Amino acid sequence: MKIGLVAGESSGDLLGAGLIRALKGYFPDATFEGIAGPEMVAAGCEQWESAESLTLFGLTEPLVHLPRLLRLRKHLVKCWTESPPDVFVGIDAPDFNLALEMKLRAKGIKTVHYVSPSVWAWRAGRIKTVKAAVDKILCILPFEESIYKDAGVDAIFVGHPKADSVPENQDMAAARKVLGLTADEVVAILPGSRASEVSMLGGTFIAAAKIILDMRESIQFVIPVAKPTLRPKIEAQVISSGFSEKLILLDGNSEQAMIAADVVLLASGTAALESALLEKPTIAAYRLGRVTYAIFKGLKLLKLSKFTLPNLLTKSPLVPEFIQNDVCPTGIADAVIKLLDDPDRRQFISDRFARLRNELALNTDQRAADAVISLLK
């Protein structure tokens, strides 16, 4: 049996590796090939090109790389037409993978798309493309399954991989000891994993921390730096704050930082869900470039009143959100202080997030493999 795969970004690489390992449990002699990251390679995938080649951000970067991506897609279609896999699995990277899946499906190759595009948030018309491109879509958010089934797409909710991997029992005291934190209260600050996010939010988050510090002395802030390339920018923001002794930078280790915290302040994204799965009261912010935001608003591409994943997965929103012009130090500081001053509210949030983790932890790798096998049968 041969399975073709294309994964984009590190998150797709991890999903692909888990899927490969689960499928090997059924088919030890199966071969895997395509665009893969290091985790997929370690799991046994033949790498034709690195998953990093599909990691593009913003509105302009994909346009710059468009000729290369079109050549790559054409090459993949040629290779898999000449030597077809039993099934093709596109993992995330919808702008690249959906068009590829459509071409492969037209050649008679079974296609699976793993991780739904956010059709419920923006560009809802993409669901028609999904319907034309795939035989089955694997959803990692529970409400997505019914959206696709209503549109006539074979969909299955396989659980969320983050819920499978986070520890169920967090020892706050132990985490603080490991990180050398001695204050009565700790706030974790995660300004994002991209340079643009750190530029847009880092200074505001640190200014909010200064306001909080002025109101309560026995507090520390811990900032896990997502990538080494971001450290100089964050260090400059910390130094300019004038209270760097209260701002502790870590190289990565975001999970430990969140476990150690009473409250987590972060750039909205995957980290918001991870924080919730760690049962942490969380505050989220996001800010786009003015031109990008104006385009999204002008074309009415954004259709949600809530933008963090935890708020989309609970009946009542539990994560205070700040977006675009609402991102200001005073408002964010007030939200953090409100949670610090209300332990009963923090406990309520933690208890609901614990239930959310149980709702999402379904052994994603195994369920995804079972879904792929059912299509083959």
Number of compact structural domains in the chain: 2
In order of 126, 207, 236, 324, 358, the CA distances from 330 in angstroms are: 38, 8, 21, 14, 35
Q: Given this model, what pLDDT does residue 304 score?
A: 58
Question: Which CA distances in Å does 116 have to 107, 192, 370?
Answer: 23, 22, 17
Give the HSE-up count for residue 17: Cα atoms under 13 Å, Cβ half-sphere: 16
Does residue 276 sit in the same domain as residue 260? yes
Question: 120 and 70, same structural domain?
Answer: yes
Query: Would you tell me how many other CB atoms lie within 10 Å of the CB of residue 151?
Result: 14
Phi first, then psi: what are they for 225, rounded to 5°? -85, 120
Provide the b/e sequence for 328-355 (b: ≥16 CB within 10 Å): ebebbbebbbebbeeeeebeebbebbee
Are both 109 and 235 inside the same structural domain?
A: no
Q: Judge if 37 and 72 occupy the same domain.
A: yes
Query: Do 196 and 143 have their domain in common?
Result: no
Asked if residue 329 and residue 188 are part of one domain, the reply reads: yes
- Closest-CA residue to 188 (of 254, 236, 245, 251): 254
Question: In whole angstroms, what separates CA 373 from the centre of its chain?
Answer: 26
The answer to whether 77 and 90 are in contact (CB under 8 A) is no
Q: How wide is the angle at C-alpha 74 spanned by C-alphas 68 and 79, nearest 5°?
A: 125
Residue 317 within any structural domain of the chain = yes
CB 21 within 8 A of CB 364: no
Residues 246, 317: one domain?
A: yes
Q: Which tens digit of pLDDT belongs to each residue from 6-50?
A: 998 888 999 999 999 999 999 999 999 999 999 999 999 999 998
Strands 219-225 and 185-190: parallel
The predicted structure's pLDDT at residue 288: 73
Co-location of 178 and 287 in the same domain: yes
Is residue 294 in a domain?
yes
CATH of residue 132's domain is 3.40.50.2000
Q: Are 40 and 74 in a shared domain? A: yes
Q: Which domain holds residue 276?
A: 172-360
pLDDT tens digit at each of 377 positions of the chain: 999 999 988 889 999 999 999 999 999 999 999 999 999 999 999 999 988 878 654 444 456 667 888 999 999 999 999 999 999 999 999 989 999 999 999 999 999 999 999 887 767 788 999 999 999 999 999 999 999 999 999 999 999 999 999 988 889 999 999 999 999 999 999 999 889 899 999 999 999 999 999 999 899 999 999 989 999 999 999 999 888 889 999 999 999 999 999 999 999 888 999 999 999 999 999 987 666 555 555 545 555 567 799 999 999 999 999 988 899 999 999 999 999 999 999 999 999 999 999 999 999 999 999 999 999 87
Examine residue 167 and state whether it is found in any structural domain, yes or no.
no
Helix axes 94-106, 66-82, angle to 10 degrees: 30
Q: Are residues 240 and 328 in the same domain?
A: yes
Does residue 318 contact residue 353 with C-beta atoms inside 8 Å? Answer: yes
Question: In this structure, is residue 165 part of a structural domain?
Answer: no
141 and 185 co-located in one domain: no
Per-state percent for the chain, helix, strand, coil, to nearest 5: 55, 15, 30
Q: Are residues 184 and 329 in the same domain?
A: yes
At 167, which helix (H) or strand (E)?
Answer: none
Nearest to 218 by CA among 174, 249, 243, 182: 182
